[in-house]
Amino acid sequence: MTTVIPDPGLGTFRLQGDDLKAAVTEALDLGYRHIDTARFYDNEAEIGELLAASDVARAELFLTTKVWHENLTSAKFIASVRESLALLKTDYVDLLLIHWPSPEDAVPMEEYISGLLEARKLGLTRHIGVSNFTIRQLRQAIGIAGPGQILTNQIEVHPYLQNQAVVDFCQQQDIVVTGYMPLAVGKVLEDSTLAAIARKHKASIPQVVLAWLKHRGLVAIPSSTRRAHLEANLKPSELTLSEEDLSAIRTLDRNERIANPDFAPEWD
Ligand SMILES: NC(=O)c1ccc[n+]([C@@H]2O[C@H](COP(=O)([O-])OP(=O)(O)OC[C@H]3O[C@@H](n4cnc5c(N)ncnc54)[C@H](OP(=O)(O)O)[C@@H]3O)[C@@H](O)[C@H]2O)c1
| Catalytic residue IDs | 41
pLDDT of residue 238: 78
**46-86: pLDDT as tens digits:** 999 999 999 999 999 999 999 999 999 999 999 999 999 99
Q: CB–CB of 55/24 below 8 Å?
A: no
In short, whether 154's Cβ falls inside 6 Å of ligand 1 is yes
**149-178: pLDDT as tens digits:** 999 999 999 999 999 999 999 999 999 999
Strand partners, 249: none
pLDDT of residue 128: 98
The pTM for the full model equals 0.98
Residue to mutate, 178, 205, 224, 256, ligand 1, most ligand atoms under 8 Å from C-beta: 224
In short, whether 41's Cβ falls inside 6 Å of ligand 1 is no
Distance CA 80, CA 39 (A): 8
Residue to mutate, 13, 18, 66, ligand 1, most ligand atoms under 8 Å from C-beta: 13
Q: Per-residue pLDDT for 255 more than 70? A: yes
DSSP 3-state of 66? strand
In short, whether 132's Cβ falls inside 6 Å of ligand 1 is yes
In short, whether 101's Cβ falls inside 6 Å of ligand 1 is no
Q: CB–CB of 46/84 below 8 Å?
A: no
Q: How many CA atoms lie within 13 A of 6 on its CB side?
A: 18
Q: What is the average pLDDT value for the chain, to the nearest integer?
A: 97
pLDDT of residue 1: 64
222 C-alpha to ligand 1 centroid (Å): 4
DSSP string of 192-212, one letter each residue: HHHHHHHHHTT--HHHHHHHH
| Rounded average pLDDT over 231-236 | 89
38 C-alpha to ligand 1 centroid (Å): 14
pLDDT of residue 201: 95
pLDDT of residue 56: 97
**9-18: pLDDT as tens digits:** 999 999 999 9
68 C-alpha to ligand 1 centroid (Å): 20
Q: CB–CB of 196/190 below 8 Å?
A: no
φ, ψ of residue 82 to 5 degrees: the values are -65, -35
In short, whether 13's Cβ falls inside 6 Å of ligand 1 is yes
Domains of the chain plus CATH, in order, are: 10-250 (3.20.20.100)
Looking at ligand 1, which atom is closest to the CA of residue 15?
Answer: 45
- Closest by Cα among 62, 68, 81 to 10: 62
In short, whether 182's Cβ falls inside 6 Å of ligand 1 is yes
182 C-alpha to ligand 1 centroid (Å): 7
In short, whether 125's Cβ falls inside 6 Å of ligand 1 is no
**Strand order through the sheet with 93-98:** 10-11, 34-36, 62-67, 93-98, 125-131, 150-156, 176-180, 219-220
109 C-alpha to ligand 1 centroid (Å): 29
Percent of the chain with pLDDT over 90: 97
